[in-house]
Amino acid sequence: MTHKIEVVDRDEVVEAEDGQDILQALLHGGVEWMHACGGFCNCTTCRVKVEEGMENLSEMQEDEKNTLRRFQGEEVLEGPFRLSCQADVHGDIKISEPEWY
């Protein structure tokens, strides 16, 4: 089963295998996306803003929470943000690149 990832601010759409993480699906689909630590939950350069379909992503685990907290502060956990290397896709989603750094 595949799902659709739409990158709304770039006008690009890629397919994700069920359970594939967002980052792998983006890279596989030819979309360039920063991932400084190589997908090991140790930076936040792969972050995405989830515009639609947050319920179609795997639940955030402690590792991802800790990394987001460490690099971006506690309040980022209240927003619609995920690390693309840690969020597995289980349905269609729409994402964009967050403006914060």
Specify whether the backbone of 79 is left (phi greater than 0), alpha (psi in -120 to 50) or beta: beta
Residue 92 C-beta: closest distance to ligand FES, Å: 21
Residue 70 C-beta: closest distance to ligand FES, Å: 11
Give 11 or 62: the residue with its C-beta nearer to ligand FES: 62
Give 21 or 53: the residue with its C-beta nearer to ligand FES: 21
Angle at 91 between CA 18 and CA 35, to 5 degrees: 70
Contacting positions for ligand FES (CB under 6 A): 35-37, 39, 41-46, 67, 83, 85
Give 4 or 39: the residue with its C-beta nearer to ligand FES: 39
Residue 19 C-beta: closest distance to ligand FES, Å: 17
Pairing of strands 12-17, 47-52: unpaired
Distance CA 63, CA 55 (A): 19
Residue 83 C-beta: closest distance to ligand FES, Å: 5
Q: Could you give the residue ranges of the DSSP H alpha helices within 1-101?
A: 22-28, 62-72
